[in-house]
Amino acid sequence: MASFFVSPVLQLHRVLLLSWFLCAATALLPLHVAAARAGAASYVTVFTASFAASGTTCDDTGPAIARRQRNGTSAVLRLAHRHGPCAPSRSSVQAGPSFAEVLRADQRRAEYIQRRMSGSGAARGSNKGDLQLTAGSSRSATVPATMGYSIGTFQYVVTVSLGTPGVSQTVELDTGSDVSWVQCKPCSAPECYSQKDPLFDPSKSSTYSAVSCAAEACLELGIFGEGCSSSQCRYVVSYGDGSNTTGVYSSDTLTLTSSGDAVVDTFLFGCGYAQAGLFAGIDGLLALGRQSMSLKSQASNAYGGVFSYCLPPKETSTGYLTLGGPSSASGFATTGLLTAWTAPTFYMVMLTGISVGGQQVGGVPTSVFAGGTVVDTGTVITRLPPTAYAALRSTFRAAMAPYGYPSAPAMGILDTCYDFSRYGVVTLPTVALTFSGGATMSLEAPGILSSGCLAFAPNGGDGDAAILGNVQQRSFAVRFDGSSVGFMPGAC
């Protein structure tokens, strides 16, 4: 039998060629396949083109979890990026703020939440940060939400109908507010800003009424009350970035779905006659906080003790908001829902650990997380206690170092940035957040990096409240009931 001699050099060339072929093949696979074959527990392979924030085509396949949960009692509505191709009306698409402007506004919001949590920032009329419903029936309504820009940061909007006959209103979704409101006629600039839809005209709604000063609903406004005018209850809300709204506290019919089968009668909201700040483009705000004035609380009798949302991962895709739905948390990783008595509006959970590349980040005592973590749709970048952030940053940089990606200048509050301009594919170490009870969020690549930077920042101090921002929540179904918060990946 003939034998052949293969030189060590030729063997090395073959090994190198095979290695190159395998790497190239992995890089060309879809992200979830590449991650699985390369060891998803430690790193993910990402096409740099996926970092692009914009697109011209709407990839509207509909919310995956909503399709799985449809059982005849739920209404599923579309949620989209307000400035992208999935927006309800392309004619309403507006240029958003720069990323630097977003980060500056985001920092103001984060500082405001932390002041509220510490009990030192509960300024009159100020409230921002939560989302939940109350136990009841199994009915559910899913409202389409659209990722947009308002109050100076990335926000999400839904389109609802107000009054009889109904008038479409595109309103910002905020889990950190308790008072909903829209701009109302008569109102002109500068008291009212330019918005997408016509101003709501209460005189043309047969079901509208102003709340009287003697009504219990007026008394429940508390710090949001602004006294009386002509026996009508007045409200005022000021936000962390200095924006504010004031007007008449009112009641009317709120229709959540286009089919008209999800209605909240005598819905309490603010009819705004004077607004100021960074609201441009939206028609108002839909509050999902935990207090009695919020939509969550007002709709609890009709839609039970559960609500969920899925924030779209990018502007070319859609997400959803659901009031009600299945009572079971099957399929969700759940953690206990906590309440901060200094700021009962907020939905609180307890973060217990962070891992990078499948390994727990060390050097972070559990006491660092003692202030709890606010789950907030309005904050963009997740805030961590300084000790935890420093450990995460150090571990992440070390995991990135072998790949040799050049660093980029810091961007505002983001200080760990990379220049991927010469790369078509990059490899990132995985990042996961673990909460009390063992619930873990294994983040998608867009939840790890934002504009090429590690999408985390430090908060005020160890023991202060952390904030789970919307960058990390995108594509997760986030479910709330009276006792827990659940996370499910890949839901929209």
Whichever domain contains 310, its CATH number is: 2.40.70.10
Whether 14 is in a domain gets the answer: no
Is residue 308 domain-shared with residue 340, that is, in the same domain? no
Higher-confidence residue of 202 and 148: namely 202
135: Cα within 13 Å, side-chain hemisphere: 4
Is residue 348 domain-shared with residue 306, that is, in the same domain? no
The CA distance from 187 to 246, in Å, is 12
Six token digits for residue 435: 């909460």
Q: What percent of the chain has pLDDT over 70?
A: 75
Low-confidence winner among 72-76, 277-281, 297-301, 478-482 (lowest mean pLDDT): 72-76
> Given this model, what pLDDT does residue 313 score?
83
**Does position 349 have pLDDT exceeding 80, yes or no?**
yes
Inter-residue contact 171 to 155 (CB < 8 Å): no
**Res. 279 pLDDT band, cuts 50 70 90:** confident
Is residue 302 domain-shared with residue 444, that is, in the same domain? no
Taking each helix axis from N to C end, the angle separating 31-38 and 8-28, rounded to the nearest 10 degrees, works out to: 140
Helix (H, G, I), strand (E, B) or coil at 360: strand
Whether 247 is in a domain gets the answer: yes
Higher-confidence residue of 129 and 329: namely 329
The CA distance from 461 to 111, in Å, is 11
The CA distance from 308 to 329, in Å, is 11
The CA distance from 103 to 107, in Å, is 6
Whether 32 is in a domain gets the answer: no
The CA distance from 198 to 194, in Å, is 9
Average pLDDT, the chain: 79
Inter-residue contact 55 to 49 (CB < 8 Å): no
Is residue 74 domain-shared with residue 182, that is, in the same domain? yes
Out of 324, 351, 367, a domain closes at 324
**Does position 237 have pLDDT exceeding 60, yes or no?**
yes
Six token digits for residue 88: 């309800």
Is residue 442 domain-shared with residue 377, that is, in the same domain? yes
What is the tens place of the pLDDT at every residue in 238-270? 887 778 899 999 999 999 887 777 889 999 999
The CA distance from 471 to 484, in Å, is 21
Is residue 272 domain-shared with residue 167, that is, in the same domain? yes
CB neighbours of 322 closer than 8 A, spacing ≥ 6?
A: 66, 69, 74, 76, 140, 141, 142, 143, 307, 308, 309
Is residue 302 domain-shared with residue 417, that is, in the same domain? no
What is the tens place of the pLDDT at every residue in 408-431? 999 999 999 999 999 999 999 999
Is residue 344 domain-shared with residue 290, that is, in the same domain? no
**Does position 69 have pLDDT exceeding 60, yes or no?**
no
> Given this model, what pLDDT does residue 396 score?
98
Catalytic sites, residue numbers? 174, 376
**Widest distance between CA atoms in the chain:** 108
Is residue 320 domain-shared with residue 428, that is, in the same domain? no
Whether 8 is in a domain gets the answer: no
Whether 22 is in a domain gets the answer: no
Whether 380 is in a domain gets the answer: yes
Q: Produce one character per residue of 72-102: b if its CB has 16 or more CB atoms within 10 Å, e if not.
A: eebbbbbbbbbbbbbbbeeeebeebbebeeb
Is residue 313 domain-shared with residue 350, that is, in the same domain? no
Q: Quick one: average pLDDT of 88-104?
A: 65
Is residue 417 domain-shared with residue 477, that is, in the same domain? yes
Work out whether the CA dihedral 305, 377, 345, 375 comes out positive or negative: positive
Q: Which domain holds residue 362?
A: 333-488
**Does position 376 have pLDDT exceeding 70, yes or no?**
yes
Whether 214 is in a domain gets the answer: yes
Helix (H, G, I), strand (E, B) or coil at 446: helix
Whether 34 is in a domain gets the answer: no
Inter-residue contact 287 to 348 (CB < 8 Å): no
What is the tens place of the pLDDT at every residue in 309-343? 998 887 777 789 888 877 778 899 999 999 988 88
Q: Quick one: average pLDDT of 291-299?
A: 91
**Res. 174 pLDDT band, cuts 50 70 90:** confident
> Given this model, what pLDDT does residue 487 score?
96
Out of 324, 341, 370, a domain closes at 324
Domain count, the chain: 2
Strands, E assignment, 153-278: 153-162, 167-174, 181-183, 209-210, 225-229, 232-238, 244-255, 263-276
Is residue 190 domain-shared with residue 278, that is, in the same domain? yes
Q: Quick one: average pLDDT of 336-362?
A: 94
**Res. 481 pLDDT band, cuts 50 70 90:** confident
> Given this model, what pLDDT does residue 268 score?
98
**Does position 127 have pLDDT exceeding 60, yes or no?**
no
> Given this model, what pLDDT does residue 26 score?
38
Residue from 458, 449, 413 nearest 431 by CA: 449
Out of 298, 324, 350, a domain closes at 324
